[in-house]
Amino acid sequence: MEEMFEELYRKYYDELFRFLFYMVHSRELAEDLVQEVFIRVFKAYSKFEKRSSEKTWIYTIARNVAIDWFRKQKGLLGTLVHKVELESLQISHELPEEMAIERDEMRKIYACLKQCKLDHQLVIILRFHQDLSILETAKVLGWTEGKVKTTQHRAMKKLKSFIQEAEQGGTMEYQIKRIG
């Protein structure tokens, strides 16, 4: 059991960390939540019936851990201010200027993503950051594939509108500064 648990830990730690980091935008909190996920995995592994893959089962636990944390925060999702720590998530061979532009763009996207409903955030993160299929995402969330597709469509539409609003706001600020 111990060897199997260690293998699961090695196999899924990085993926779960990224998933939870995208949800909470804090390295330390994501690390704590990953530990909570593995505590739950260890306690529940003997009950795992293998009706789904290990991956979707573990992501379901991670999703529940994230939701529990958000509930403890009294629903302040979107109003929590966390510094987005993108450094050291991936090794990059880009020039410093390119990295700075990309980091700034990612911060803007994450700021807009935080404005989305939790279900929308989960679908976007699972589908596009964690590269889960629609079927895998449905299993993780306990939804139908149709609900995942619909939620993904709505989430992307909403995220796009938040990004456009942010861009227009930035342009308007620039124009106001130029006029003033």
CATH, residue 172: 1.10.10.10
Distance CA 81, CA 77 (A): 9
Which structure tokens are listed for 148?
Answer: 């995942």
Q: Is the whole model's pTM more than 0.85, yes or no?
A: no
Q: State residue 85's pLDDT score.
A: 32
Residue 5 has what pLDDT?
84
User: What pLDDT shows up at residue 131?
Assistant: 85
Q: What is the pLDDT of residue 99?
A: 57
Cβ neighbours of residue 148 closer than 8 Å, sequence gap 6 or more: 123, 127, 134, 137, 138, 141
What domain range is 110 assigned to? 2-179
| Dihedral sign, Cα of residue 33, residue 37, residue 43, residue 44 | positive
pLDDT of residue 167: 81
| Residues in the chain, pLDDT under 50 | 75-94, 171-180
Q: What is the pLDDT of residue 178?
A: 34
pLDDT of residue 129: 82
The number of distinct structural domains making up the chain is: 1
**Residue 170: per-residue pLDDT:** 58
